[in-house]
Amino acid sequence: MDVVQLSLTNLRCGYGSFTIPSYSINQTIIKPTLVAVLGKNGSGKSTLLRTIAGLQKPLEGNISIQNQNIKKLKVKQRACFVSYMPSFNPKIHFITTEEYVKLGWYPHSNKALEHEKMEQVLTDLDLIEKRNHFLNQLSDGEMQRAAIARNIIQDSPIMIFDEANSHLDPKHQQKIFEIFYRLVNEQQKIVLFSTHMAKESLHYAHKIWLLAEDQLISKIPEQIIIDKDLENNQLSFNLPQFKLVQTKHKIHIRLIGDGIPFQYTRYAFLRYGIETVCNKQCAFSVIIQQNPNARFIWLVKKEGIVIKEFLDLSELIEFLLIN
C-alpha cells in the first residue's frame, strides 16, 4: 500500500468530561515519518495513541486516513490502515509465540502470509528460538518483543506502538529504535511511538510530538533542542551528540551562527542533504538570530538581501530543498 495521509482535526481526547491532553490537536502527516510522542506521566500519550488507532472515541474533532473519517471504517478496514500495540500485552495461555504473532495478519486473511515475512520479523526481534514456546513461558521482555512483532506483521501503513521499549534490556531497546527507523525509511510507513527515552528519540525520530501542559509541540528533534522544549516541560536529559548522517548532498548553503543553535541547525541540514561548508558561490545564506521574544529565527539571504525568515526549522529546510 502507498503512503497514506493521517490527519487530526480539532481532536480532543479523554473520558467523559475529562479531557487529556487538555487541548485540541491539529496535525497532518503526508509522508513516511517516525514520530516520537513524549510527555510526562499522565500527559495523555496513551490516550492520544488509542484514539488515533480508533480504539477510543474522540470527545471532539476528527481523525481521517486518506480523507476518510476513521469512525466510518469497519474494524477490519481500519486494521488494514492502522496497527496498534498497547503498553500492556497479557501472556495468553496455550498459544505459541508464532501463533500469537500471526494474529497480526488477520486483516489480510484473504491471502497467505509469506513465510519469508514471518521469518524476517522473528529474526529481527530475536524470537526464532522462542517461536514454539507458549506465551506464559516467555519473559516480560520476550513477550514485549512478540507484541512488537505482531504489530509489524499486520503490515499496515500506519503503525502505533505505546511504550514499546518498556521491559526491554538496553540491547533490544536500541534495536527497536533501529527497526522503527527502517520501517519508515525502507518500507515507507508512518510510525508513531510513545516513550520516555527522550535522548534516543531525538536521535532517531523525524518529528517529536511533545505533550506539554497547554499545547502539543510538534517540531523536528533539532529544534526541540534549540528551543529547550524538554527542559521547559520538566523533561531533563543530556544533550545528544548526533551522528552526522551520510546523506547525499542536494544543495550547498552558507550557515552563520554559533553555539547550540548553529550546531543543531547544521545537524538538521546534513540529515536532509544540505551541506553547510560552502567554499564556492552559494545560492543562499542562512543567519541564526534571536528575536525580541528570545526565540531563535532563521533569516534567509540571497544576494545580500533577506528574502524570508522562519520560526520553524522544518519549514526552512523544505524551502531550501525546493528552491
| pLDDT digit string, tens, across residues 51-72 | 999 999 999 999 999 889 998 9
| pLDDT digit string, tens, across residues 251-306 | 889 999 999 999 999 999 988 889 887 666 788 999 999 887 878 999 999 988 99
169 shares its domain with 290: no
Separation of alpha carbons 131 and 29, rounded Å = 35
182 shares its domain with 271: no
Q: Which segments in the chain show pLDDT lower than 70? A: 1-2, 236-249, 278-280
Look up cell 552526522; give the residue.
244
Task: Read off the C-alpha cell for 243.
Answer: 551522528
221 shares its domain with 307: no
Q: Is 238 a domain residue?
A: no
95 shares its domain with 130: yes
Alpha helix stretches (DSSP H) within the chain: 45-52, 75-81, 97-102, 115-124, 140-153, 170-187, 198-204, 221-226, 229-232, 259-271, 313-322
Region label for 155, one of left (φ > 0), alpha (ψ between -120 and 50) or beta (otherwise): left
What global pTM score does this model have? 0.92
Domain of 295, in residue numbers: 251-322
192 contacts 161 by C-beta, under 8 angstroms: yes
Phi and psi at residue 58, to the nearest 5°:
-70, 150
Residue 222, domain CATH: 3.40.50.300
Q: Is 145 a domain residue?
A: yes
